[in-house]
Structure 1
Amino acid sequence: MADGQSWTFSEANQRANRLAWYLRWAQGVTLGTNVGVFCDNSPEGVTLLVAISKAGGVYVVVDSKSPAERMRYIFTDSDCSLILTTAALALYLPSDLSQTVVLIDQYVDRCIPLTRPYPNLPPQGRAEDLVYVLYTSGTTGQPKGVMVTRANVTHFAMTAQSHLPLAAGLRLLQSFSLSFDAAGYAVYLALCRGSTAVFPGSDLVAAAAQCDLIVATPTFLSRLDLDQLPRLRYIICGAEPFPDSLLAQLAAHAELFNLYGPTETTIAVTGSRLAVGKPISIGRPFSGTHAYIVDAQDRLVPIGVVGDLWIGGPTVTAGYVNRLEQTAAKFRPNPFGPGRVYQTGDRARWLPSGEIEYLGRRDNQIKLGGFRIELEEIETALHKYPSVERCLTLMRDNRLVAYVQPLTVDLPQLKQHLRQQLPHYMVPAEYILLERFEVNTNGKIDRTRLPS
């Protein structure tokens, strides 16, 4: 559902089948073909993803608000030969792309009628074949693509639904960009359970008021007036740490669930039902998932001791596109059981209840508005501006703050430069120009002496 229009599952399947047959026979999409998708958060966008999967392809979504340089990098790095979009959105694509661009609304929708039935394509492929590649912020200054397999998605869809309040007829607000892995709640769980995905369209409040269930970040939820949502029964939070200050407010309106899962472990791997008076946690691992908390010597730690969180099980993804060294560094053979583990970089500890308490990052990665951000990527973009000599980026009061040396930097031009380099959620909200950074005895920036 979106802006008063709705499709049944049968209608949506027909649209996806029509496009899948077109991709297979007219564009040569087959098993393992990487297909770029340049779309917004809409039912049509979800149809593109389903159609590509039906044709055997691998979808690579780039959000319609992404800067040109990021689009160009992702489509090239992922080796996409084809990009699907609409005539309106195509205006925002870089003009020098080498890929074939197909305007779905101008060709497929107009030239291939829906008046005849389109059967499902015969299934093909293996569990280890890819479904999608999703790009996240990277420490090298460029985003990195996470390769997610059919086995990963299938296990997530089959196990997560048993932990969450999803049922046929339930209306779910799909608030996430389709380039964000949390959109998988609508793409996979809603489709598997027969729930209705409601898209914000032009009126977020009106869309939310139709929903029984909202899946969103705490930041998103803090901006909603829940008193205007009479149908609301369930809230699923994820993609960023859950703040204590929101618990009583949200719990007064709905049953509240808190989920955890890096992109590298396929959407969500642990979950907890939150309640006032109960410690906030990310819960227990979903069925088949294994969580390990280890010390600096990679030994399991006892209850209550803080360590590094590793995740093992069928949802651990295949690694990063074209980054063998980074894949080897973050994904390793499981020393405690079969398969591999992903080293999340998160700090955590076991609670006596058997749930896991999340305690933040051990590196320079943050989450803001549900998006995972490597601060080094912002700093790399800052350093590309010619007059920036030194810089540092921090998150303060839930805002990105950029410290930049020297004082003479042209700030309006610098902001424009960043908007061309980074997605909107990575552009700092505040800039502080410095004559010079104060340093400590090791010659490193002294963060304790930064102006606020």
Structure 2
Amino acid sequence: MRSRGVDILEGDLASFEARLKVFGSLWTAVTGHRPEPQDLPVRLFATQDRYHPQDVALLTGEDRDWPELGLRDFRAYDVPVTHREMLRHEPTLLAIESALVELDATVDRPAAPPAPASRRARPASAAPATPGTDDVLELGRGPALPDERRMPVHEQIALHMRAHPERPAVSSGDLTLTYGRLDAWAARLAGELTAAGVTPESRVGVLAEASAAMVAAVLAILRCGAAYVPVDTAHPDRRIDTVLSDAGVAALTVTPATDTRAVAAGLPRVCADPSLLVDETATPEAEAVGVGGDDIAYLIYTSGSTGEPKGVLVGHGELAASTLARRTVYPGEPVFLLVSPLAFDSSVAGLWGTLTAGGHLVVATAQEVRDPALLARLITRHGVTHLLCVPSLYAVLLDAVELTGPAATATLRTVTVAGEPLPEPLMERHFAVHGDAVTLFNEYGPTEATVWASYARFDAPAPVTIGGPVPGTRLYVLDEERRPVPVGVTGELHIGGAGVSRGYHGRPEATERVFLPDPFADAGPDGTPARMYRTGDLVRWNTQGTLDFVGRRDHQVKIRGHRVELGAVEAHLASLPGVREAVVVPNSASTGLLAFALVPGPDQPDAVELRDRLTDLLPEPMVPERITVLAAFPRTVNGKVDRAALIRQGAVA
């Protein structure tokens, strides 16, 4: 630290913060109370705002500050071990950690009483919480996948095409394709791709609007033994070119609506034109190219927190495992409403999970997704039974259902929300509208783990959780040294199992940073070491054996030396009367917070009043300096809140 010129107090604070979890664990074991970060009187920064009156106000009793010390002096500095000074003294914290090891070995913590059956979330794994490391690891082990051969998804669909060619497979707009017609169309497109130079292990771009043609195109690409690379038609041409160039695509599939886009100059194009369809259901002569589990099925780009496109490589083995887990959790032959763009990874759940089950995939057009009333009519028209979307889109769909009446969605049996945290008021609205006729699922999972990793099932309103592991998945909640943390302690979620993807295309360093050796799992049959994905998400096991989502590591900010979790502020703001959704961001100087409250109704609460209420709930550094009340949030094409647009709006204001 001396060679780098780091202030010794700031260096100590870094170590101190890493040990706050230790103190919190000991404090909880002794008193039963779990302190929040803002409850702890920590003020060690040697900065100009070190003596800020609002910081000093957080302290109680006589204030004792550290002098400016050198490293050698600091080690020898003697501090009386009182409750307050204990929080500030590194050797004392080390002693606490040693004592905690003995405490965990001897203390008999009483188990929390189980929640009533009618209020309990039912995850994949709900074993009782115990303090031992092995038991905590057991909480995160999902059920074994069914013992069956994991055939590539397009080969599984081909079985349904041969067995039931007359069944409806895909509907979009005014077009409905049976499995037989979809088979014939995909076979013809596969032949055109092969003629255009596509070979096994090639990558083929998909520039297609939400449609039946989009489905036929990706099936055709997989039949060639190639991998599909979806791009979003809502993105500008320059970004699309960046993605296609980075992926190294050999060809591009388009539709009549996208064929005029000035992208991928010089690449061969194959157009999936519905007007050229003939009414044929005969089995094509050409067979699909065989692929193995290690071959890449698709390459999907995610911006993450940096805004820079980053391609995730997903193999046929991971896709087959994830899809098999989905059919295990959601059995039967669904009529599934697909509202996600192909370039959004939740499309994988609806597309392959439905067609491999022999179900009916209803692809909503972009216009239908933008109009909740049209979505409700689509559910009625096709008798949709299953729906998956982000919570914010489901909220506006419920608005339409409340206006038209629940008869519009009478066929629904399952609603799954994913991609964003589930607000508890939305869960309550779901059951107020549907009663117990429609089960609500809350899914969690990054693109890097092939769509999903955990889920919780709700048959009645209950505390929000992301549940337990999906079949074939392992979940670990680890500290900074990658050790499992006890129940109730926040750690970073790591994911292992059959769905962990290959990594990032052309980014070995980025892959190495987050795709790590899994020390808690045996190597594969071929001796390949197990791997796990470091998510960057903070979670904790609760006493019901399910995971509580805490927030993103990169959504933590420091305001005048205080670490603030933006998700915690958002949750408090969203809980206020009249507020449906909230977004909190730091201001341009990172000296305070800006908040945006979504209030769709005509009677909008006063922003000053909302801030006053937060002042009563939160310590001063967590209270936004300004709250803007909006009737609608800007959204990305995936339906998520466009935080960048809100930040720009806040900067202008």
TM-score band w.r.t. shorter chain: 0.7 to 0.9
> Residue 132 in 1 paired to residue 301 in 2?
no
Paired with 1:9 and 1:85, the residues of 2 have a C-alpha distance of: 21
> Residue 245 in 1 paired to residue 444 in 2?
no
1:61-100 → structure 2 map (5 Å cutoff): 61-94=230-263, 97-100=265-268
Paired with 1:112 and 1:7, the residues of 2 have a C-alpha distance of: 11
1:107-126 → structure 2 map (5 Å cutoff): 110=276, 114=280, 117-119=283-285, 121-126=287-292
1:214-293 → structure 2 map (5 Å cutoff): 214-224=387-397, 225-226=400-401, 227=406, 228-252=408-432, 253=434, 254-293=438-477
Name which of 185, 191, 199 aligns with 2:363: 199
Partner letter of residue 218 of structure 1?
P
Q: 1:23-55 CA distances to partner (integer Å, 9 max, x unpaired)?
A: 22x122221100001011112101111110111
When residues 263 and 335 of structure 1 are mapped into structure 2, their CA distance, relative to the original with a 3 A threshold, is same
Deviates more, 1:327-336 or 1:278-287: 278-287
1:220 Cα deviation (Å)?
A: 0.7
1:98 Cα deviation (Å)?
A: 3.7
Q: Which residue of 2 aligns with 1:185?
A: 349
> Residue 431 in 1 paired to residue 648 in 2?
yes
Name which of 536, 546, 552 aligns with 1:355: 546
Q: 1:367-404 CA distances to partner (integer Å, 9 max, x unpaired)?
A: 9xxxxxxx9xxx9xxxxxxxx999x99874479xxxxx
When residues 140 and 176 of structure 1 are mapped into structure 2, their CA distance, relative to the original with a 3 A threshold, is closer
Name which of 3, 7, 14 aligns with 2:184: 14
CA contact (8 A) 2:477 2:540 kept: yes
Partner letter of residue 18 of structure 1?
R
Identity of counterpart residues, as a percentage?
29
1:250 Cα deviation (Å)?
A: 1.0
Q: Which residue of 2 aligns with 1:36?
A: 205
1:313 Cα deviation (Å)?
A: 0.6
CA contact (8 A) 2:213 2:272 kept: no
Name which of 290, 301, 304 aligns with 2:485: 301
When residues 73 and 426 of structure 1 are mapped into structure 2, their CA distance, relative to the original with a 3 A threshold, is farther
1:257 Cα deviation (Å)?
A: 0.8
Q: Which residue of 2 aligns with 1:174?
A: 338
When residues 188 and 116 of structure 1 are mapped into structure 2, their CA distance, relative to the original with a 3 A threshold, is closer
Paired with 1:293 and 1:274, the residues of 2 have a C-alpha distance of: 23
1:213 Cα deviation (Å)?
A: 1.4
Secondary structure class of the residue paired with 2:193:
helix
Number of aligned positions between the proteins = 392
> Residue 212 in 1 paired to residue 385 in 2?
yes
When residues 92 and 425 of structure 1 are mapped into structure 2, their CA distance, relative to the original with a 3 A threshold, is farther
Q: Which runs of 5+ in 1 are unaligned?
A: 368-374, 380-387, 400-418, 436-450
Partner letter of residue 240 of structure 2?
M
When residues 356 and 120 of structure 1 are mapped into structure 2, their CA distance, relative to the original with a 3 A threshold, is farther
CA contact (8 A) 2:186 2:220 kept: yes
> Residue 161 in 1 paired to residue 161 in 2?
no
1:237 Cα deviation (Å)?
A: 1.1
Q: TM-score, structure 1 length as denominator?
A: 0.79
Paired with 2:509 and 2:595, the residues of 1 have a C-alpha distance of: 28
Paired with 1:43 and 1:364, the residues of 2 have a C-alpha distance of: 38
Partner letter of residue 205 of structure 1?
A
CA contact (8 A) 1:18 1:114 kept: no
> Residue 152 in 1 paired to residue 318 in 2?
yes
Structure 1 outlier segments of 4+, above 6 Å: 392-395
CA contact (8 A) 1:15 1:114 kept: no
Paired with 1:30 and 1:116, the residues of 2 have a C-alpha distance of: 25
CA contact (8 A) 2:323 2:353 kept: yes
Secondary structure class of the residue paired with 1:242:
coil
Structure richer in strand, relative to its length: 1
CA contact (8 A) 2:200 2:224 kept: yes
Q: 1:229-261 CA distances to partner (integer Å, 9 max, x unpaired)?
A: 222221111111110111111124111111111
CA contact (8 A) 1:21 1:121 kept: no
Q: 1:401-444 CA distances to partner (integer Å, 9 max, x unpaired)?
A: xxxxxxxxxxxxxxxxxx9xxx9957615634769xxxxxxxxx
Partner letter of residue 43 of structure 1?
A
1:16 Cα deviation (Å)?
A: 1.2
CA contact (8 A) 1:172 1:197 kept: yes
Q: Which residue of 2 aligns with 1:439?
A: none
> Residue 59 in 1 paired to residue 59 in 2?
no
Partner letter of residue 519 of structure 2?
P
Q: 1:110-161 CA distances to partner (integer Å, 9 max, x unpaired)?
A: 4999586424524412211100000001455421000000000010111121
CA contact (8 A) 2:466 2:546 kept: yes
Paired with 1:396 and 1:344, the residues of 2 have a C-alpha distance of: 26
Paired with 1:11 and 1:111, the residues of 2 have a C-alpha distance of: 8
Paired with 1:337 and 1:113, the residues of 2 have a C-alpha distance of: 52
Paired with 2:180 and 2:309, the residues of 1 have a C-alpha distance of: 37
When residues 389 and 22 of structure 1 are mapped into structure 2, their CA distance, relative to the original with a 3 A threshold, is farther
1:279 Cα deviation (Å)?
A: 2.1
CA contact (8 A) 1:350 1:356 kept: yes
Q: Which has the larger radius of gyration?
A: 2
CA contact (8 A) 2:453 2:469 kept: yes
CA contact (8 A) 1:31 1:57 kept: yes
Secondary structure class of the residue paired with 2:239:
helix
Paired with 1:309 and 1:424, the residues of 2 have a C-alpha distance of: 23
Paired with 1:93 and 1:118, the residues of 2 have a C-alpha distance of: 33
Paired with 1:274 and 1:68, the residues of 2 have a C-alpha distance of: 42
Deviates more, 1:243-252 or 1:319-328: 243-252
Paired with 1:258 and 1:247, the residues of 2 have a C-alpha distance of: 10
Partner letter of residue 199 of structure 2?
T
CA contact (8 A) 1:2 1:207 kept: no
1:363 Cα deviation (Å)?
A: 1.0
Secondary structure class of the residue paired with 1:193:
coil
